[in-house]
Amino acid sequence: MADNDNGVGGLGWFLAGLGLGAVIGVLYAPKSGKETREDLVAGALDAKERAAVLAQQAKDRAAELAEQGRQQVGDYVDRGKEYYDRGRTQWSQYVEKGKGLVQEQQDKVSAAIDAGKEAYVATTHDHS
């Protein structure tokens, strides 16, 4: 008898599964050709809009990065000019200092020559 109950119970489950499958099949049945085409067109338009948004975001980001690059280049140029000006100023200071040292040495040499002349004159007049 147990075998008989399993057969009836199995048939019941089979019929229940068959009915459930039919309901699910109706719910997920393909749409008509017109509805499918409309869905494809709507999906394509949606994808086009998303692509346009992404393209605009990429364009904006590229412009932002380009501007940052221009600013960095400008900063480097300004810094280079500053270093050039600083170096030029230091060079001018060294040149002026060098001129001063040369003049000072020329003055000392002239003074030594004058002192030598005076000493020579003094010694030659004293002996004459």
Task: Give per-residue pLDDT as tens, 80-116.
Answer: 999 999 999 999 999 999 899 999 999 999 999 998 8
pTM: 0.41
Across 20-30, average pLDDT: 65
Please indicate, yes or no, if residue 110 is contained in any of the structural domains. Answer: yes
Please indicate, yes or no, if residue 13 is contained in any of the structural domains. Answer: no
**Distance between start and end Cα atoms, the chain:** 167
Give CA–CA dist 45/126, Å, rounded: 119
How many domains does the chain fold into? 1
Please indicate, yes or no, if residue 15 is contained in any of the structural domains. Answer: no
DSSP 128: -
Measured between alpha carbons, how far is residue 61 from residues 49, 56, 68, 124 in Å? 18, 8, 10, 93
DSSP 31: P
Please indicate, yes or no, if residue 46 is contained in any of the structural domains. Answer: yes
Full domain range(s) for residue 45: 35-127
